[in-house]
Chain A
């Protein structure tokens, strides 16, 4: 069943108010836009947004999440409804599974390997095969999260170097940097990663799972929702690296879409809008799902992935991380 409601991307500065049972979005130009509250699943604010409390309480009553991205595209925070769909049975099992070091690291290893394989798939090159092979041999020996993350870091460094060979010089990463990203390529990746994180968090919010109890990232990692960070891993290549490659090939982005300074870079307002359009289009791309026997969008894939974890918690079904099958 497709999800009720859709995502709205606020790419311009605006003011959000309540008007009866609608959200009224007032933009600096033109007349306000009214959106029925039942049509909204979540809102993503890319720019300055004024919200008042009556609008927020209506968002909360209707289970709408509001994500806020900061200037560099980091996830600055979100406003989520007070009532969640949490289930004690699921959370109890989730805690049990994550508290068991063996099961926890097993799932962590699976996630890292899946992310690496997906990255190999996204870059579509055999230059990564040796690195992937050594990751496969080294991972089973990793006994704790730090070791797993270390292996992941090694692979990622190789992969980004390979990605650089497929990019024009101005968009190359030259080593991954963040907070703040130092060049255009890094700004792009950071921005997309923040968006994927926000999408995963929304998906998790519509399941009974607790987003803060994760498998891979340590509990204090950037004090964020670690399960959302975990689950975002296998999806990052699908959106971030793949889209970067594509925009470079199609010349969809120009150097003027970035505001580059010495040692820091961010997207310009126009660049942000372009990326919002790109991602929105990408999220609504559909593929045929073999067991559901219908088309599912990339957005829904994230939700289905979260459901696999619910199934793991409720029924002990083994968890197989997402891998693109098309």
Chain B
């Protein structure tokens, strides 16, 4: 365990912890109104650790949907992480399989984007552990607090904080975009394709993110190879 790597990870993960704060709080709150106990709400955050899937589960529980359907739905929503962890594997230093199996649990959209956009070429397991522990801690603790306080943050603050995670994604993307047309095109094309799915409702959110990401990544790779051969 390298202490400096670990605290660098904690530091890199702090913006996730801030971004999770309002979302986990609201989740705890909604779970309470759905009729889940403090233990049940917190357990979902402890064992599942997947924002979108947990929110959807709450609405499906309210709608009286069968548990097995909720589980299937969770799978569909989270299948996009296949793509992210395959990509992340290129970025991580090789390590014992059990360690990778352990930190794999902590890969969410947010921890993935923080890890994947780090400047160092290869990342250590210790660094990843730092990022994940602070993000996970925030998610679990604020789920409980949300359920416990059972009252809202001031409305205006809640509205303002709903931007937090997107602001983080933008803050991670912009430095890589500077003077790099490839990064700009990758993000832009994926955003456009995903918007198309969003407005036409051809695919549900989980699939839409996965398909638009893959389409953009393959397309840009194909273009740059063609261009490379010509020059």
Q: Do A and B come from one complex?
A: no
